[in-house]
Amino acid sequence: FQSFTRPTVEPPGPKGYPFFGVIFETDSKTLYKKLYEWTKQYGDIFQFQMLGKNFLSINSIDVLRDTFLQEPGATVSASRLPTFIGKYVLENYADLTFASPSLLWEKRRKCVHRLLHTYGEAKVSLENQVLQNLIHTKEMIRKTISKNVNPSEIVDEFILSTIEVLIIGRSFGKEGPLQPLLKLEHDLVNRLANPGSDALLSAAPFLRILPLPMSSVYRELKSIHQRFLDTLEMLSKEDCEKTGIYHTMKEALEERDENGKMWFTDKNISAVLVNITGAAYLTTRGTLLSAIHILAKRPELQKSLQREVDEVIGRGQEPKLSDQKNCPLMGAVVMETLRYISHVPVLILHATSQSTIIGGYYVEKDTVIVPNVWAMHHSEKYWDDPFSFKPERFLDREGQLLPATNPIRKRFAAFGLGKRSCIGEVFAKSRIFLFLSSLMQMATIAEPEGKPLPDLDPRNMVPGAALQPQEYDVRFLLR
């Protein structure tokens, strides 16, 4: 790494108490809001302490791009913190999300990333399964036509079916053997990965064997995950075509690296499946439910989307993934939804593996990096009227999506950046496209009857692993 002269100026930041730091001033669930507030006092980059750890909050997209995309910062800042879930649930960091980088991790991440990309871009053999999901979703919507309905049940079933198809090649539906386990496992992963319980269990791992509520989450997760693995193994022997990533990962068990060693083991498969069930559901759910809410308040925008969908896909056939590139307005609506809600507000926390310089400040080894993308996406310095929903920001004069090299696109970081960026981006975006374009094909989203629908305010989302919109009703009106 480059040698550097240690700058004398430390990053500014709130003082806090010895050891406890700012813990009494913050709530881990809404940390992004507190950090956003602190930017007004301390600027875009500042430090704070909590429970004896150093944290560095980055709130500027320019500093984040310099750090995550340029060496040496890109490598130095790509580590993760040691976590209880990583050590005790994910087979001593045999996973992708909670493990810090190593050569083997890179090889496994590349492999799973490639698989998710291929599935995102429509593996031909799965097109039929995806079509079945869409037909079922449309049937569910049709049953609610013109009535006040909370759309979360429809969205949930669609997302869980897409995860089933991704993993095992087909969906067994809401009452099938996988969806209840997927939902339960997802909930348990996110409860256990909560920074509060993780910090406590990491400091005192023996607590996991005591009869405490947080230890029962750990034990239940272990047991549900084993049931999930057993069910996958049983299904893969019975009636599934060998098209899901479970089978593809199993095939990798046969491979050997250049030293003749196994580089993908059963432990890795198990841990990667926890990562996927933990990462794929709430993120996609939050995006779809927010987009439906926003569109219900924007009938003119819906008309434009319906015009685009009618021209590109037509009214009589199901959307295909290949239609996505010809629907720039839909692309812009999805991107603006992701910017507006920024529902993975501080990404997944990074940590420095070496001391380094970030944004002109000296940063110690093992500093926790908190990239506050929520603040970046709502900065008046970079976004005109950031608390307004304006998909046209992402379109050029001809109505085409701005290229990824455009300065405005470069300010967008909902999937993170660089070495730890989301490996499910293509998969998530393509499923979101399929859902929304099917919906626009068949229905118009209207406000509910008899009770007003307030505007979706990104400052008022329900906290959690990925922020969610408040519960609401809409009506679907047949076109």
Chain residues in the site for ligand HEM (CB under 6 A): 96-97, 109, 116, 275-276, 279-280, 283-284, 287, 338, 344, 347-348, 414-416, 420-424, 427-428
Give the nearer residue to ligand HEM in terms of CB position, either 214 or 351: 351
Cβ distance to ligand HEM smaller for residue 433 or 444 = 433
Q: Which residue is nearest to ligand HEM (CB)?
A: 424
The answer to whether the beta carbons of residues 96 and 112 sit under 8 Å apart is yes
Minimum Å gap between C-beta 416 and ligand HEM is 3
CA dihedral 198→68→64→402, nearest 10 degrees, is -120
Distance CA 182, CA 225 (A): 9
For every residue of 366-407, DSSP letters joined together read: TPEEEE-HHHHHT-TTTSSSTTS--GGGGB-TTSPBPPTTST
Amino acid present at 394: F
Our CB check for ligand HEM shows the closer of 178 and 428 to be 428
Examine residue 319 and say whether the peptide bond preceding it is cis (omega within 30 degrees of 0): no
Name the nearest CA neighbour of 320 among 211, 431, 235, 425: 431
Of 350, 374, 372, which Cα lies nearest the Cα of 460?
A: 374
Phi, psi of 378 (to 5 degrees): -120, 25
To the nearest whole angstrom, how small is the minimum distance from the Cβ of residue 105 to ligand HEM? 8
- Report long-range pairs for 182-187 (Cβ below 8 Å, ≥24 apart): 182/228, 182/277, 182/281, 183/156, 183/281, 184/224, 185/221, 185/224, 185/225, 185/228, 185/274, 185/277, 185/278, 186/277, 186/278, 186/281, 186/282
Q: Which is nearer to ligand HEM, 105 or 172 (CB)?
A: 105
Look at the block and give the residue holding tokens 């079933």.
Answer: 157
Minimum distance from CB of 268 to ligand HEM (Å)?
A: 13
**Comparison of 112 and 214: residue with beta carbon closer to ligand HEM:** 112
Least CB distance to ligand HEM at residue 176 (A) = 19
Whole-number minimum distance, CB 77 to ligand HEM, in Å? 9
Instruction: Compute the distance between CA of residue 238 and CA of residue 283 in angstroms, rounded to an integer.
Output: 31
Q: Which is nearer to ligand HEM, 282 or 446 (CB)?
A: 282
If the CB atoms of residues 59 and 284 are measured against ligand HEM, the closer one turns out to be 284
Minimal distance, residue 171 CB to ligand HEM, in Å: 15
The SS3 of residue 79 is strand
Q: How far apart are CA 207 and CA 223, in angstroms?
A: 17
Distance in Å, CB of 204 to ligand HEM, minimum: 26
Q: Does 240 appear as a known binding residue?
A: no
Q: Which amino acid is at 31?
A: L
- Binding positions are 422
- Binding positions for heme are 422
